[in-house]
Chain A
Amino acid sequence: MNRKLHIGVMALVVVIFALGAWLNLRQGQPAESGPVGGMVVNASIGGPFALTDHTGTAFTHENLAGDYALIYFGYTFCPDVCPTELGEIAVAIDLLDEAADRVRPVMITIDPERDTPEVLAEYVPLFHERLVGLTGTDAEVREVATNYRVFYRRFEDPNYTYYLMDHTSFVYLLAPSGEIAAMFRYGTPPEDMATAIRQHMRGNTRG
């Protein structure tokens, strides 16, 4: 059983590395072929989910239908990478001015043990007034993360009195249709995210 899990994780790592390499190639292409700073993604990523928001209310993919969304997978016991990305998402949305209302910022925790709705309720407003924090059972979080090709794993060391989470750090742009329109890797400037979102809104990109 454990061995199966191990093989599964290794397979996932391979898939993610392959995806990373592919995205690298995509990024090297001229801007005309895709959104600036964002990568056009094939349809097999994303999909339905059933989670609980930071107010304790059930929240599914249907709650996002009709709007754009910027989705980030992170955790609150993460003092660096996650606040950085959430900060960039907030800046990107604010850069959209009058179109900002059409984009919903969403953070899905990969650490449901710590990140209860109560914990998320205190956390999300620090970044953006409309940021939605989502959590769920281990199985619910595992399912949405798997569908989004998010790798995460708990890291524990006997010398630590706490645990950390290793995780991929992508921002996903969800189109009103529910399909993933673009992915932004860690460090993408918010200006590039905003430009890519505007391009999608004008409908002048593939995907």
Chain B
Amino acid sequence: MLKLVFAAALLVTSVFPATAHEEKSETLTIVHPWSRATAPSQKVGAVFMEIKSSTGKADRLIGASSPDADITELHGHIREGDIMRMRRVEGGIEVPAKGSVKLAPGGFHVMLIGLKAPLLEETTIPLTLTFEHAGPVEIEAVVESAGSSSSSGAEKMEKMDHMKMDHKKGSMLHGAPR
């Protein structure tokens, strides 16, 4: 079954490279997927986002893949006192019914291992997220600066309200066959 995923993405090519954008499936909205620029010698990257569910049934992010990396894994942090232990998340990340989960610095992220090329600011990374129920959802994560702690998509939207959006682009993305 080929699933059509409509992306309500506003890709604004202005002086602000990291703009808020959303990508939607029938039941899930992926809010502002973003990553950070990397050095050529740095073979890993992390992708952050917020996943919102509009249905009454909980879902689960169980995997991810990207043509830009050899391995794509779901990672989280275990914080014991002041020791940070980054670990692969087994069993996926739950998206609560009619709720949302944030993949944010210090918490969960999609880890890209074995980057085929450095992540450059203002470019995008294609990713396929796989959900237990919603199936595959294709997204494009925006690459921000290396030290970015990107505020949430909503906050960015507010900040941008008074800014001129000089270039809007809508796109239709197709999910991979299940």
A interface residue numbers (CB < 8 A to B): 13, 16-17, 19-21, 23, 76-81, 83-84, 86-88, 90-91, 118-119, 122-123, 126-128, 151, 155, 157, 159-162, 164, 166-170, 185-187
CA distance in complex: A60, B66 (Å): 42
CB distance from A119 to the nearest CB of B (A): 4
| Residue on B nearest A122 in the bound complex, by CB | B39
**Residues B46 and A16 in contact, CB atoms below 8 Å apart:** no
Q: Does B81 contact A (CB under 8 A)?
A: yes
- Known pairs A126-B146, A169-B82; list 7 more (Cβ under 8 Å): A79-B36, A80-B105, A86-B146, A119-B41, A160-B88, A161-B71, A161-B113
CB distance from A120 to the nearest CB of B (A): 8
CA distance in complex: A91, B88 (Å): 30
| Residue on B nearest A149 in the bound complex, by CB | B82
For chain B, the bracket of interface size reads 20 to 34
How many residue pairs link A and B with beta carbons under 8 A? The number is 107
Kindly list chain A residues whose C-beta atoms are within 8 Å of the C-beta of B40.
Answer: 122
The answer to whether A186 and B112 touch (CB under 8 A), given A76-B41, A81-B77, A122-B41, is: no
Q: Does B106 contact A (CB under 8 A)?
A: yes
CA distance in complex: A173, B106 (Å): 22
Q: Does B168 contact A (CB under 8 A)?
A: no
The answer to whether A81 and B37 touch (CB under 8 A), given A87-B146, A168-B83, A170-B82, is: no
CB distance from A154 to the nearest CB of B (A): 12
Could you write out 6 A-B pairs with CB less than 8 Å apart? A79-B44, A79-B111, A87-B148, A169-B84, A186-B79, A186-B84
The answer to whether A76 and B82 touch (CB under 8 A), given A81-B106, A90-B147, is: no
CB distance from A20 to the nearest CB of B (A): 4
CA distance in complex: A81, B77 (Å): 9
**Residues A168 and B84 in contact, CB atoms below 8 Å apart:** yes
Kindly list chain A residues whose C-beta atoms are within 8 Å of the C-beta of B43.
Answer: 77
CB distance from B79 to the nearest CB of A (A): 8
CA distance in complex: A133, B165 (Å): 38
CB distance from B85 to the nearest CB of A (A): 4
CA distance in complex: A172, B91 (Å): 37
**Residues B109 and A76 in contact, CB atoms below 8 Å apart:** no
Kindly list chain A residues whose C-beta atoms are within 8 Å of the C-beta of B147.
Answer: 83-84, 86-88, 90-91, 126-128
CB distance from A123 to the nearest CB of B (A): 4
The answer to whether A187 and B106 touch (CB under 8 A), given A80-B77, A84-B149, is: yes
Kindly list chain A residues whose C-beta atoms are within 8 Å of the C-beta of B113.
Answer: 161-162
CA distance in complex: A89, B134 (Å): 39
Q: Lowest 8 CB-CB distances: which A-B pairs, in order?
A: A87-B147, A126-B146, A79-B46, A122-B39, A20-B81, A119-B41, A84-B105, A123-B39
